[in-house]
Amino acid sequence: MIGHPAFFCEPWRLRVSGVDMDLLAQTESVFALSNGNLGWRGNLDEGEPHGLPGSYLNGVYELRPLPYAEAGYGYPESGQTVINVTNGKLIRLLVDDEPFDIRYGELRSHEQSLDFRAGVLRRDVEWVSPAGCPVRISSTRLVSFTQRSIAAICYEVEPLNGSTRVVVQSELVANEQLPPPGGDPRVTAVLQAPLVERENWAKDTRAGLVHATRHSGLCVATVMDHLVGGPPGTKVRSESSPHLGRVTVTAPIEAGGRLRLVKFVAYGWSASRSLPAVRDQSDAALAGAVQSGWEGLAAEQRSYLDAFWGHADVQVDGDAEIQQAVRFSLFHVLQAGARAEGRAIPAKGLTGPGYDGHCFWDAESYVLPVLTNIAPGATANALRWRHSTLPMATERAAQLGFRGATFPWRTIRGEECSSYWPAGTAAFHVNADIADAVAHYVDMSGDEAFERTAGLELLAQTARLWRSLGRHDTRGRFHIDGVTGPDEYSAIGDDNVYTNLMAQRNLVAAADAAGRHPAAARELGIDREEMAAWRDTAAAMYIPYDDVLGVHPQAEGFTGHQVWDFAATAPERYPLLLHFPYFDLYRKQVVKQADLVLAMYLRGDAFTAEQKARNFAFYERLTVRDSSLSASAQSVIAAEVGHLQLAYDYLAEAALMDLEDLERNTRDGLHIAALAGSWIALLAGLAGMRTRNGILSFAPRLPAGLTRLAFTIVRRRQRLAVNVAVDTVDYTLLDGDPLPILHHGDPVTVPVGDPVTRPIPPAVATTPPPTQPPGRVPARRHPTPVGDASRL
């Protein structure tokens, strides 16, 4: 998509000139605004044309039945689907009775830009109506980080040739008609008219709608107010009906004059509070926004992001496109989680309805490690949401015959929503992914209060699952049979290496946390015997190894399967899941996404350097990357084993996943985990960052073409600035006590204020460059210097 000449490469914003109707839905996704609680897609103000309308509230969903040809014990009976709530973005314009529509008249110019520092979406248009009346239209839109229920638009109209009569209709619209879904199972189910009217009103510059979801019983209130600045004779009226609230402004504008409309929209919802309570909540939020005014909201937004970028920015010299892409990624990762307080972080954030708005395991394995550094409060809130769903997870474990908790593979509220049982029943690795996120957050933040409460219980209940799920053989080895790992082209395998290694870490982390908090452990029924059993189980964990091939099989027996016939698979038949039965995929050596390779990143301590190199080469030729989660993990290990150009190629694939629409489904929303993966590929990959036994470790090396990589890592109360050049790296501790780190395995103590410079040893690959399946070789990345990157 960004190969289009209308997209420009700029370090702090994404800008496009003109409107390409074929890219409209994708553009709406990349220009989406959100704060983790409220999300607006980047639809045009006037609402039409559109690719996919979208206004979302985190946690607002509708129930839908999950039909089965043959029902089975333990199958989920009901699914949850995110819904398009009341659209508050709409501002329709009529110029001398001609409706503003970019498809008619003359569009002289049209530009949209997403400003990562100001946190706003700007739009500037010059349009000539079919009757020959030219106007300039500008709008600036924000979804507030500081007032989590609020979105606002500043909309201005200026005639360019004499006096003009202008009518602006600012609307709230519920139950918008949505385009039909395609055949891709990754897109959402479309639910028509999910909102049932409960109340509507309009007065002066205000209007409001209250609805209930038809089956899930949620109450949703949307209210709006306006500040109108226009010439003498400007008139305002308001009206409402069950699914429409409208404020109409009519103004005769002379040459040189303009009409300015500031629209404030407040949303509220609840599953338990009464209609008056939800309505009053929205009214109160709206009053606060109006009191702040447009300038106040914009200033708050800029101040919030100034503080964010002060510690979150990642600087990349030598490739202007990657620099823009990583800031785009960080901005959207922040938008996905910043104010998702008490709610999940969906796979698409609040940028679109893909995957039904569900949260998956990649929230903990990809998104939370990034948020832990750039917005640690968001990580704590996401994990507290998981903790709030523990009753459902323990009930699910009991239903399946296990102790502890079984967390869902996909969900909105906490119940398992997958009707595909190899994932919804057998992808137990999500337990260990949550536990790993807990341990990483506590290690980086030092949040002992969180560990003592929510953290310890999450670790304990997930650890109990492994003891109940697995078994010891006659030699005392512990096995976990019949599970599905991260690779969705393999299912119901024994001793999946990723699952076993992450479960092992889970068990040790639970025992360690219980030892640090004995009183809290006793309250959870954890005694010394159970802690010892966790440690014994971890020590006995069986990790398969193929002595003949000298590699770790992804799961027991995987290396004995027939290799997929890649040569006979045409490029247009990817992704394979849309063209071949899963049964065929499950019986072959073909990998959808990094599984064993992901294990080598997250559990690198369990592999030797030689094993990593051999494993990586082996799995490269089998991995087709039909998942957006794969490239970043492959980038990390490619860098670690010395294949820097390949690491760079995979970094670009992760960073440009949505900007290039590589999966061909950006129209349904952004891939938030892949965007987080660009940070992972840079810091864990090219900078070689790991946390080992509480010690930060770095092994930086840059590929040819990149000249600098700079970032800040926050661990507890210490901020470490890392500045990687071609041959040297500077470590500067900005505050806190002297910090011990490892640099390429050598211990270094970094004092406060004085940079420590170390040389970077050259990369030495111990294996030849690996090969990929035919047609699945990543695009070769070539640096794009600033002067050569006029477009993206």
Alpha carbons 35 and 152: distance in angstroms, whole number: 13
Using DSSP's 3-state secondary structure scheme, residue 708 falls into strand
Contacts of 697 (CB under 8 A, 6+ apart): 688, 689, 690, 691, 741, 742, 743, 745
Token pair of 196, please?
Answer: 């049932």
Using DSSP's 3-state secondary structure scheme, residue 745 falls into coil
Alpha carbons 787 and 305: distance in angstroms, whole number: 27
Token pair of 215, please?
Answer: 């089956």
Are the C-beta atoms of residues 186 and 423 closer than 8 Å to each other? no
- DSSP-derived pairing of the beta strands 562-563 and 588-589: parallel
Cα dihedral 51, 363, 593, 23 in deg (nearest 10): 10
Task: For residue 189, give the DSSP letter.
Answer: P
Alpha carbons 556 and 495: distance in angstroms, whole number: 6
Are the C-beta atoms of residues 717 and 736 closer than 8 Å to each other? yes
DSSP string, 659-702: TTTTTS-GGG---HHHHHHHHHIIIIIIS--EEETTEEEE----
Token pair of 65, please?
Answer: 């039945």
The residue type found at 368 is L
3-state secondary structure 474-488: CCCCEECCCECCCCC
Are the C-beta atoms of residues 152 and 291 closer than 8 Å to each other? no
Alpha carbons 743 and 540: distance in angstroms, whole number: 32
Alpha carbons 792 and 789: distance in angstroms, whole number: 7
For residue 114, give the nearest of 268, 221, 8 by alpha carbon: 8
Alpha carbons 312 and 305: distance in angstroms, whole number: 10
Chain-centroid distance of CA 707 in Å reads 28
Alpha carbons 350 and 357: distance in angstroms, whole number: 8
Active-site position among 488, 530, 620, 640: 488
| CB-count exposure of residue 645 (10 Å: 0-12, 13-18, 19+) | middle
Token pair of 380, please?
Answer: 């704590």
Q: Is there a catalytic annotation at residue 640? A: no
**Residues carrying an active site annotation:** 488
